[in-house]
């Protein structure tokens, strides 16, 4: 049993619905990401622009840079 082909109007409507669904999905993701950022701000301490001196363990293992 074959499935009937959709008419051009039905195809256009289906495409429009797909675009609306995709836009809604993107908007939901954007809102979730924004909420996550707001909930965790500030995420960490400010970046330290200086390097601390190597620790004893670093010196002993040769991991100095």
Does this model's pTM top 0.95? My answer is no
Interacting residues of 58 by C-beta distance below 8 A, sequence separation 6+:
64
pLDDT per residue as tens digits for the range 20-43? 999 999 999 999 888 877 777 666
Looking up tokens 């256009």 gives 12
Rounded to an integer, what distance in angstroms lies between the CA atom of residue 26 and that of residue 20? 10
Of 13, 10, 31, 33, the C-alpha closest to 21 is 13
pLDDT reading at 54 higher than 90: no
- Average confidence (pLDDT) over 4-33: 92
pLDDT for 13 equals 95
Looking up tokens 């330290």 gives 48
Spans of all domains in the chain: 8-41
């Amino acid at each position: 049993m074959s499935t009937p082909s959709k008419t051009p109007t039905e195809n256009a409507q289906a495409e429009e619905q797909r675009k609306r669904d995709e836009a809604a999905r993107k908007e939901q993701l954007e809102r979730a990401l924004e909420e996550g950022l707001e909930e965790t701000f500030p995420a960490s301490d400010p970046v330290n622009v200086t390097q601390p001196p190597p620790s004893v363990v670093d010196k002993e293992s040769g991991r100095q840079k």
